[in-house]
Amino acid sequence: MGWFNISKRNESALQKLGAMIFENSLLCAESLRPDLEEKFGKDTQRFHSIYTQVRFEFMYFFFHLTNRSAFRQLGQEKRTKLQNNLGPLAINATIQALLGHWPKHLNDGVKNDFYENLNNAEMEYGACKHLLLKPEDDTSTFEKIESGEESKSVVGQLIDNLSEIINGEPNINAFFTMKIWDVVIEILKKKEIDSLVLAASKEIV
- What residues form DSSP beta bridges with 130? 153
Give the model's confidence band at 7: pLDDT under 50 very low, under 70 low, under 90 confident, else very high: very low
Residues above pLDDT 70, as percent of the chain: 91
> What DSSP letter does each residue of 12-66 carry, written as one string?
-HHHHHHHHHHHHHHHHHHHHHHHHHHHH-TT-HHHHHHHHHHHHHHHHHHHHHH
Q: How many domains does the chain divide into?
A: 1
Q: What is the pTM (predicted TM-score) of this model?
A: 0.89
Asked if pLDDT for residue 3 goes beyond 80, the answer is no
pLDDT digit string, tens, across residues 28-40: 999 999 999 999 9
Residue 109 scores a pLDDT above 90: no
Q: Three-state SS for 153?
A: strand
Domain extent at residue 114? 3-201
